[in-house]
Structure 1
Amino acid sequence: MGAEVQARMFTRADRRVFRKKVRLCVDAMKQMLDRGDFRDAVEKPDPLLGMEIEFNLVAGDMLPAMSNLAVLDAIDDDAVFQTELGQFNVEMNVEPGPLTGDNTFELEEKLRSSLAIADARIHEHDAEMVMIGMLPTLQLEHLDREWITANPRYELLNEQIFAARGEDIELDVEGVALSGGTVEVLRADTNSVVPEAACTSMQLHLRVSPEEFAPHWNAAQCLAGPQVALAANSPFLAGKALWHESRIPIFEQATDTRTLELKNQGVRPRVWFGERWIHSVLDLFEENSRYFPALLPDVSDTDPLEVLAAGGIPELKELQMHNGTVYRWNRPVYDCSDGKPHLRIENRVLPAGPTVLDIMANAAFYYGTVRALVNADRPLWSQMSFHAAEENLHIGAKHGLDAMLYWPGLGWVGADELILRRLLPLADEGLADFGLSSAAREKYLGVIEGRCLNRQTGAAWQRGRVVAGESAGLDRTAALAEMMRAYIENMRSGNPVHLWD
């Protein structure tokens, strides 16, 4: 959800002070890196599978249920479930579990149990929690400002983005034609950042030492295209068939503070893949402080350099606040726990869903493949341009497993073939290096293999089901509602999406 802020008006002076404090925080981090304050983070840290999952709330008529506060009150578990930007969203924080032995089986069962308990408590509110990258029944009227969750952070974020932009946000996505259909296009203006709330994701966290941060981040960037092609689950918005993973372009546009003129000048977008391979985690934090003006310039009274001089570990609050408003697909995270600083990579590429088993498989594939790429004798990013990795992300998001991606040593190759031939063996190798059991590797990577062999992602299933509904005489609205009912039934069954009829 991000750090909390109090409702207030920011002044021009606040922005100047905040900019200075962010720079002080970057200087403090450099000192901490130089003097070894992260020394407790081992070169290859104990592997933990940590994730956050965002859910849509759906009413009985399959339209969004604008009731997240009532739902959270009914669930009554603030440590696990929290608000998100839209009134039709909630977020679940999954307690990290070891990525060793058979421990992922226990984590999977805990996740199922938490969801079952929450689900049982919210039915009286005519709401169900759905794991899906983008709710297909969302219409443009559900994306107005009135549907922002009543939370000062979200209201301030909305105000600051529109103040920076000075005009409505434009959504403009040209889709991929359904079987037998024509290309559909979504073009609309919006007066809020609620379209961002339409983009529900699963975020994966990996804690790394400073020395290992750059290769892990570079590896995650290389993997982003295959990741999204494999896990695509967001094909519809506002009644339109768009990309297989429409979350990617909608999120990029929904928080864009740039006018057309600023885009033409080459100003960086706040939802950002980046522009280069890195050599240090400082590269990312320095870019964030150099390129992006503050959106939430909330200033603390703490001087991070004074804290360091006194022998303490600063929280770097301004750096954390600013970093939370730059939406990199692989975001660097600085945090403190038990008085000790650490660094994480937050992978933000994946959509939520479709099932618990699918998200566990997606997580295993990510962690294992990144580990193997880092362990390789020759870094993959030394053989691949950064632009090619970025292009892969958008091609994979648009076409899913139908995408043709660039990969060193293979050239342009189908996403399914790339994953089956090259990446699955790497994922198995990396997970084995982490210490995950052969039974767990076989279970989760078997799901990935089945998805590629059947060529059925969540997006492919949704698209096929809507085509079938329309062929049977349903209009688009009815076909989407019928598809959602079937989606929820399959989601509850627990069978992975490649086995859905």
Structure 2
Amino acid sequence: MGEELDKERFTEQEFAVFGERLVEQLAAFRELLDRPGFGQGDTTIGGELELFLIDKMGDPLPRNEELLEAIGDPRLTLELGRFNLEGNLTPVPLAGSPFRAMGDELQEITALVDRAAGELDVDGDDGGGGGGAIPIGILPTLGTGDFTPHAMSDEARYRALSRGVRRVRLEPFVVRVDDLELVVEDVLLEAANTSWQIHLRTPPERFAPLFNAAQLAIGPVLAAAGNSPLFLGRRLWEETRIVLMEEAADDRDVGRLYRRDGRVTFGSDWVREGAYELFERCVQDYEPVLPALTDAPDPLETVRQGGIPDLAELRLQMGTVWMWNRPVYDPADGGHLRIEMRALPAGPTCADMTANAAFLLGLTLSESHRDLTGYKFGEVYQNFYRAARQGLSAKLSWPGHEGELDASELILSLLPQARAGLLEAGVVPDEADTALEIIAQRVRTGRTGAAWQREFPGDARALVTAYRKLALSGVPVHLWR
């Protein structure tokens, strides 16, 4: 979805050809995965941070295009909503001190966008200016008026996405979260959510155990990372983003109730063979919504001649199925696979986000050494949604433990395991200890970003103003007053 498109309307013929291309590229992808040496290399990690832009009152500032032009930094890109920007971090080796490097770049990007937003002129239609940037899962000052068609970023890819999803789902989208019910005609509610997404490079032969381990790990990590409890004036889930994103883009109307998973999904089973089966599932189960065609050479012939195919159509199809943990094929640098871990919220601070990344990666790496396919996938699925709803108050299960445990108890017991996973990957001990101690203190105090927002005594604008100052300070949320 990060690729720019030069058109927003497509013919039925283009949809048909796109579907044929997907089948051809799947065959090429399978042969590529079987090539000896494909995807080998040092383990690296990367990240994507989505930010909200706010005006001086703490309300959404829908001026991302102006901001992007003013900053001129290639690491930044537009997001679906005009009040969002995304920063793409420079990949770094996992061995050494990766989280310090990530934290420094997160702080740099956030400060850069915040400063530029504060310098915007005050004569915009929104009456904004003097605002800033804020890393938070859901902005508490969002209102229903922020989700009109005018709020979508002025890019063909987003207009095309909107048309494509509405082509598949003829009924309105119905969003239900506790006592909140919304009926919407478009996917723009997706812009209400911002995430902190982690990429882990993996060789093909390690993909299945690492992906399954990430599915297991995300439950307790998400319970410790909640930062999205408020939406449209209501106190909802600790991670309201999860349910909001799933229902705001669920293309399963009455004609598609046969499909197990929505377009935003945790999945419904373990991966048993490798990355190919997830790509195949996304081609077989999901109708295309963005059939942009390219002029690339025959992909199968490219593979058989020893080249690296672009597989642009296949990659675009995968970019329109938003799995919480998603496989990525990248043709750059000789081609490789990554696992994109998409479930963590943005914020509260750069220190908190790097701590969340360290906990998730360490636990994933440590759990990848055992075969998880004998463990009930339903338990892992349930963990994920309980953690999203209840955070540290959730009851979670874990392989080797009888019954259910308090999320706080389970998280603290898993920190040594996460540390071992990081150290085995070459992360220096001080780096691992610093990051995981933030998780430990957050759990012991019960002070997540979601808890701080729930306890804040003022209104939404006052909350956003106070939150921004604390977030930019870099002080972890468990130390916020």
The correspondence for 2:262, drawn from 269, 272, 278, is 269
Deviation, structure 1 residue 310: 3.4
Between the aligned partners of 2:35 and 2:115, the Cα distance in structure 1 is: 51
Task: Output one character per residue of 1:256-298: Cα deviation in whole Å (capped at 9) or x when no partner.
Answer: 11224633x3453111111211121111011011101101011
Tell me the equivalent position of 1:199.
Answer: 193
**1:343 aligned onto 2:337:** yes
The alignment partner of 1:351 has SS state of coil
Q: Which residue of 1 aligns with 2:460?
A: 480
* Displacement of 1:152: 0.3
Given residue 291 of structure 2, which amino acid in structure 1 is its aligned partner?
A: P
Distance 1:106 1:281, change over 3 A: closer
Q: How does 1:60-209 map to 2 (within 5 A)?
A: 60-77=56-73, 79-125=74-120, 126=129, 127-174=131-178, 185-209=179-203
| 1:59 match | 55
CA distance in 1: counterparts of 2:10 and 2:95, whole angstroms:
47
Cα distance, 1:383 vs structure 2: 4.6
Is contact 2:260–2:268 with CA below 8 Å preserved after alignment? Answer: no
1:222 partner amino acid: L
What does residue 21 of structure 1 align with? 21
Residues 384 and 407, structure 1, Cα contact 8 Å, conserved in 2: no
- State the 1:118 CA deviation: 3.3
User: What is the aligned partner in structure 1 of residue 396 from structure 2?
Assistant: 405
Shift of 1:406: 1.4
Which deviations, in whole Å up to 9, do the C-alpha atoms of 1:368-398 show, x marking residues without a partner? Answer: 11111113xx43x245211111111111000
- Aligned amino acid, residue 333 of structure 1: V
Measured at CA, do residues 270 and 458 of structure 1 come closer, stay the same or move farther in structure 2, by a change above 3 Å? same
- Tell me the residue number matched to 2:347: 353
Separation of aligned partners in 2, 1:56 and 1:131? 6
Give, in angstroms, the shift of residue 114 of structure 1. Answer: 3.3
Mapped to 1, the partners of 2:210 and 2:246 lie a distance apart of 24
> Which runs of at least 4 in structure 1 moved beyond 4 Å after TM superposition?
none
**Residue by residue, what CA displacement relative to the aligned partner does 1:237-263 show, whole Å, maximum 9, x if unpaired?**
111111110000010011111224633
1:389 and 1:144 map into 2 onto residues whose CA distance is 37
1:322 aligned partner, one-letter code: Q
Letter in 2 for 1:50: G
- Give the Cα–Cα distance (whole angstroms) in 2 for the partners of residues 104 and 394 of structure 1: 27
Q: SS at 1:203's partner residue?
A: strand
Listed as ranges, the matches of 1:238-317 within 5 Å are: 238-260=232-254, 262-263=256-257, 265-278=258-271, 279-302=273-296, 303-317=298-312
Give 3-state SS (helix, strand or coil) of 1:333's partner.
Answer: strand
The match for 1:323 is 318
Q: 1:8–1:353: structure 2 CA closer, same or farther, 3 Å change rule?
A: closer
Structure 2 Cα separation of the partners of residues 104 and 222 of structure 1: 22
1:227 pairs with 221, 224, 234, which one?
A: 221
In structure 1, distance between residues paired with 2:252 and 2:375: 29
In structure 1, the gaps of 5 or more residues are 175-184, 470-478
Instruction: Specify the alignment match of 2:420 in structure 1.
Output: 429
Q: Deviation digits for residues 191-233 of structure 1, max 9, x if unmatched?
A: 2211101110011000101100000000001112112111110
Task: Provide the residue aligned with 1:439 in structure 2.
Answer: 430
Which residue is equivalent to 1:451? Answer: 442
Structure 2: state its 5+ residue gaps: 121-128
Corresponding residue pairs, total: 469
Residues 1:41 and 2:40 aligned together: yes
How far 1:92 moved relative to its partner? 0.3
TM-aligned CA distance change 1:106 to 1:18, over 3 Å: closer
Residue type of the alignment partner of 2:405? V
Task: Tell me how far apart the structure 1 counterparts of residues 269 and 105 of structure 2 sit (CA, whole Å).
Answer: 39
Q: Is the contact between residue 218 and residue 360 of structure 2 (CA under 8 Å) also seen in structure 1? A: no
Secondary structure of 1:350's counterpart equals coil
SS in structure 2 of the partner of residue 334 of structure 1: strand
User: TM-score, with normalisation over the residues of structure 1?
Assistant: 0.91
User: Secondary structure at 1:349's aligned position in 2?
Assistant: coil
Give the Cα–Cα distance (whole angstroms) in 1 for the partners of residues 356 and 40 of structure 2.
26
Equivalent pairs: percent with the same residue? 39
